[in-house]
Structure 1
Amino acid sequence: MIVTPQDAQQRSFAGVDFLMLSHGKESMVTKMLYKKENKVPLHKHPSEQSGYVISGKYILIIEDAKYEIGPGDSYTVPSDTEHALEAIEPGEILDFFSPPRKDYR
């Protein structure tokens, strides 16, 4: 499946805008569009999540650990693991989920 920029669906979750990019039966890709001080509250989901920071600066919390991440950094959050994110500077992150998140569709 090919998703062109014109075909990417704009969505919002927990106050954060994102683009639904490529998605299939076993995985999905989103481009998160963070504004300064966007906060994704502590949550968990059955999908494993891996991300790549394109731009911006963030605080990522995975269970009891806190990380400052920025452009070029990547991360993985195991399935059913509590995590949260706060945008310190606006930017974009590519997130990959497997299996796809049903609450994003």
Structure 2
Amino acid sequence: MKSIVTKENAVKRQFLGVDFVVLSIGEKSMVTKMLYKTTDFVPFHQHPNEQSGYVISGEYILKYGHEEFKLTEGDTYSIPANIEHSIEIVVAGEVVDVFTPIRQDYI
């Protein structure tokens, strides 16, 4: 586990067809940067990780609970663990996500 990761050493991954980069992994959390394309769609799913995000660029529709949220540059969100959610990509862009605990399926 490294506490400093340079952009050249960030690990590129893909999950559900979405490209992303693992930026850092701590003892109890991880930071990723999602690289969303307009052809991406993340269907309803849930995981045992709390997920908090910051929209760097793009436009998204986040659905969880019985609500729908439009997210654009500068917006943030937190999704509790084990809550079904989905994201529709309206305009391609990047989102930084923090997961607690670490998502083992992203390593």
- In the aligned structure 2, how far is the partner of 1:37 from the partner of 1:70? 17
- 2:48 pairs, out of 41, 46, 49, with 46
SS at match of 1:6: helix
- State percent identity of aligned pairs: 51
- In the aligned structure 1, how far is the partner of 2:26 from the partner of 2:76? 22
Q: Could you say which residue in structure 1 is the equivalent of 2:86?
A: 84
Structure 2: runs of 5+ lacking an equivalent: none
Structure 1: runs of 5+ lacking an equivalent: none
Shift of 1:44: 0.5
TM-score (norm 2): 0.96
How many residues end up aligned between the 2 structures? 105
Q: Could you say which residue in structure 2 is the equivalent of 1:10?
A: 12
Question: Does the 8 Å CA contact 1:37/1:88 hold for their aligned counterparts?
Answer: no
Q: Could you say which residue in structure 2 is the equivalent of 1:68?
A: 70
Shift of 1:78: 0.2
Shift of 1:64: 1.3
* Runs of 4+ that moved beyond 3 A: none
Q: Could you say which residue in structure 2 is the equivalent of 1:94?
A: 96
C-alpha root-mean-square deviation of aligned residues, in Å?
0.6
